[in-house]
């Protein structure tokens, strides 16, 4: 039976550069695979975790089976409180974008909830972000613009029960 080959510890920096490149080439599944190889050797490697979160969330809305819950779990492994909150916002924002691309009932309400959730994460991240870092404000504004552009609004159901 075929088995995954291991990377050497010395090859990790070059492997992560490759992961970044594959993300830029719109091949997040390849970047995801590289990050998993790195995490097999160094399970707490922060850049590999961060790139894995992004690679997984790059695939939201595709038929590749990207797992929002796995991205959130990986995000919890980041040691920086700012990065945990900021990348939870990224996950929620990308889930909102994916919801907008669905043609299911209530997709716009679901997208709205994701965007508002992302905005809440960005607000929390802003409280602990490094000085002179505009990322949380920029992402928060992008979420608001998406809500406005697509005329998203909260569900009017009081109990917010979603049909099957």
Mean of per-residue pLDDT scores for the chain: 94
- 163 pLDDT band, cuts 50/70/90, is very low
- Quote the pTM value: 0.92
Q: Is the pLDDT of residue 92 over 50?
A: yes
Across 61-65, 103-107, 114-118, 131-135, least confident range: 61-65
CA distance linking residue 47 with residue 42, whole number of Å: 11
CA distance linking residue 157 with residue 123, whole number of Å: 26
Q: Is the pLDDT of residue 134 over 80?
A: yes
pLDDT score of 159:
57
Report residue 151 as tokens.
């005329």
Q: Rounded to 5 degrees, what are φ and ψ at 26?
A: 60, 40
Q: At what angle do helices 81-100 and 46-58 cross, to 10 degrees?
A: 10
């Amino acid at each position: 039976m075929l088995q995954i080959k291991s990377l050497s510890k010395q090859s990790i920096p070059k492997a992560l550069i490759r992961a970044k490149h594959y993300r830029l080439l719109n091949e997040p599944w390849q970047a995801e695979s590289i990050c998993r190889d790195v995490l097999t050797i160094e399970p707490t490697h922060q850049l590999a975790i961060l790139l894995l979160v992004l690679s997984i969330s790059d695939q939201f809305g595709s038929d590749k089976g990207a797992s929002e819950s796995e991205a959130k779990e990986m995000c919890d492994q980041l040691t920086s409180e700012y990065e945990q909150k900021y990348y939870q916002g990224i996950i929620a924002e990308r889930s909102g974008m994916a919801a907008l691309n669905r043609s299911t009932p209530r997709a716009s309400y679901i997208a709205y909830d994701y965007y508002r959730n992302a905005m809440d994460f960005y607000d929390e991240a802003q409280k602990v972000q490094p000085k002179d870092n505009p990322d949380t404000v920029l992402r928060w504004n992008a979420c608001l613009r998406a809500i406005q552009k697509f005329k998203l609004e909260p569900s009017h159901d009081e109990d917010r029960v979603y049909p099957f």
